[in-house]
Structure 1
Amino acid sequence: MIKKVLLSVMLALMSLSAQEFALEKRIGQMLMVGFHGTHASKESQICKDIQQYNLGAVILFDYNPVDKNKPKNIATKKQLASLTKELQACSSDGKLLIAVDQEGGKVQRLKSKYGFYGNFPKASDVIRMDQSTIKETYTKMSEELSSVGINYDLAPVVDLDINRKNHVIHGLGRSFGKDPKVVAAYASTFIDAMHSNGVLTSIKHFPGHGSSVGDTHKGFVDITNLWQELELEPYRLLKDKADTVMVAHVFNQKIDPKYPASLSYETITKLLRWKLGYHGVVITDDLQMGAISQKYGLRNTLKLAINAGDDILLIGNQLDPKKTVSTKKLVDTIMLLIQSGEVTEESINKAYKRIQGLKKKL
């Protein structure tokens, strides 16, 4: 009798640990992390994290915030192709999302000094070209990304160029213009070009960063009195085409009087999903940016982001070398939030399902 009881307890514990293990791996799929290193051997921390936690995505940078004389992840074409191959070899399905910010203009991680083309035009110059040149330009960009194993481009920008005082969008020429239909058409060409070489995309920065004045990298940005409903239009027009939507950290009292967009259920679930009818993957902008990190601690940030309806949580480990967060810490924190009932397992499952749907496109 005692043996039977012990056996059933052991079996129960085993199935529980299998569930816990599976949950950890589903949480891992929701994370996109930045790491230091130009290689990812089997012994490297990033490889161990991909294997142990089933990490869903990584983001690569060229600039190294710890030592600007050394590259962070991108040094040469050959090295980058080798790094992405090593990273994929660590993943169980060979479908690790490997992301960069590659828009053209100021925002391109694959620079000519590393042996890449590096001279892709900014959006405000692209709109002066004819259709076939635009298609050619973005196809060339997607070929280059694909040739070094990058399968996820955190672009294009669909913010409207409606505030000339805006340094982040207007000042850097990152917008395709003021007219949402025109912006959506250019973004559509960009997405098609990326898809032609198997690269996924992310339209950004929902619900619109074009009207803002401040920079969310540096701190809190309130767009309540500047934002226009027109800024939602590109998202409505592209809702069935976009692979993913990136949500900004802007605060808009008219949409949510309490939280910035990236942590807001009102913005992500009610507005983007329910009202605009977008059902794909939602990714946050970097959760370590000043707009979030100065106001919310890590635990609260993760709790709010998951409950808001975000699927991929981006932790770039890029902005402050003193504040790098390990994958273990992220997974453990989310596990604790589930155990305490502050986050439901159902939220994790919904995100997991959407992410698997996205990966089927690869």
Structure 2
Amino acid sequence: MMHLNKYLTLILLYFVIDLHSIPILQSSDTVQTTSIYNPEQNEGLEGGDMVPQPFQKSLTDRGVAIKPASSNRWAGGVVPYEFASNITANNSAFIVAQMRAMENLTQVNNTQCISFRPRNASDLYFITIFNGSGCYSPVGSWGSYIGTRPVSLMHGTYSTCMVSGIVQHELTHVLGFYHEQSRPDRDSYVSIQWANIDPSQAFNFVKYNDSQVDVEMTSYDYGSVMHYEWNAFALNSSGPTIIPTQNTSAYIGQRIRLSPVDILAIQRYYGCVPTPNITTTTTSTTITTTLMSSTTTTTIISSTGNSSSVMSTTTTAATSNALKIGLAVGITVLVILIIVGAIIACIVIRKCRT
């Protein structure tokens, strides 16, 4: 019995030591939802992780247009980058791997749509990736501003940005994109639980309007890597701050990789695939003394989030053909009537003679 107790004690001690050897947070494709600190939620930054341009007080300054425009795109879809000295070799390799993943996901017909490359001495516009105090980045290229754009991807003892979806999230900001739940149409898809939001962070849930952002004609995407998680900036982290309404079982806030809709939005924003236009209808009518024709051409371009389709139909009604057919039928009927009349007349005349 004593030997049995001894063995049980040794086994228990082994498991205690083994549990202490497990790191608190590991680099993986999942985010620990029980973490008290979220490195994407940084006080003083718009949306918790977006850095304003040097001449802006915030991203929503009314004097500055923040709607993605050609001046906010990276020329040719190319983003030059450099690593600060406090980024380790392992972490820089992990970040570059996420860059390659984004390039592969967004390519069209085996041609890169966007790319990230090390900066060279002639680059005036570039990002500097460093181990800061959280996960945050600029939105877009910052136009003609000369110099570096800071991207913080921290890796600490208790929290890290070295998760595939977090790195891709911040790099998508760099490409020019905002948070999904800030879209002008978000109230049709989610319900914001203002009562559970930290009042000092409520500004992070303000919607942009149509003059500020461009949704790139993609549908609202619960699965976007740019969407907040369900309890972002919560007073009570066990309760939600965002509730999906159209799909109540939808999971929001994934940090695995770009969603199909994220990919399509990037491709459209950088001109790698066409951006759909609204439905257009053109009708023309020509009338002459000998011909009447009506031609209607309708082109419909539709988008369903991660796909688009084009349907074109042309209908031509040549009323001259109908007139010809009607005339032929009329003549035929007239001839038949004449023949029938002649036969009847002949019968009547014969009866009269008899």
Instruction: Please give the TM-score of this superposition, normalised by the length of structure 1.
Output: 0.27
The structure with more radius of gyration: 2
Which structure has more strand as a fraction of its residues?
2
TM-score (norm 2): 0.27
